[in-house]
Amino acid sequence: MHAYTYAGNGVRTAMLVAGIVAIAFVGLVIYLLVSNVDSLPKKFLKVLGYFLLCVSSVELLILFWVLVYVAISDWSLWSLSFDAFWREQLSAIYFVKEWLYSWFWNDFLNLFFVFLPAVVFLTLRTVITTVLGFWALTASKRQG
């Protein structure tokens, strides 16, 4: 079990604030991209689109890996956090997560790595990056 199973009110409030900040930040970035699409260079949109679609492919492979891992282990879809998956299956690069915790707001990272199940986290990321990737490619084609 992870640390937030029996969390107190202070931890819940910090996670709620982190979730609101994450939604506001993603919304702001998407809004700025959409509202300024005409001023962005066609090449930038094309590279962004292909980059996001490549990232989506990698995320889809990791999501498939998580599903296979859940099927052959004692974890369930809702109990396996991305942190636990990373610690057990990607231990060679686990130091990257520890480095991130030294630079970013811990409650914000806990929301994604510890609190959200790996399946939910990866599904959300994959859908968002795929939609943004196709949008960027469509926008680059519209610019002529």
Q: Name the token pair of 95.
A: 């130091």
Name the pLDDT band for 105 (thresholds 50, 70, 90): confident
- Domain coordinates of the chain in residue numbers? 9-142
Across the range 63-67, mean pLDDT stands at 95
Do 133 and 43 form a contact (C-beta atoms < 8 A)?
Answer: no
Residues in the chain: 144
Residue 100: predicted pLDDT = 79
Residue 82: predicted pLDDT = 85
- Is it the case that residue 49 has pLDDT exceeding 80? yes
SS3 state of residue 59:
helix
State pTM to two decimals.
Answer: 0.78
Residue 9: predicted pLDDT = 62
Q: What's the one-letter identity of residue 90?
A: L
Handedness of CA 41, 43, 47, 52 (dihedral sign): positive
Compute the distance between CA of residue 43 and CA of residue 103 in angstroms, rounded to an integer. Answer: 32
Compute the distance between CA of residue 78 and CA of residue 2 in angstroms, rounded to an integer. Answer: 12
Average pLDDT, the chain: 85
Of residues 67 and 121, the one with the higher pLDDT is 67
DSSP string, 90-131: -GGGHHHHHHHHHHS-HHHHHIIIIISBHHHHHHHHHHHHHH
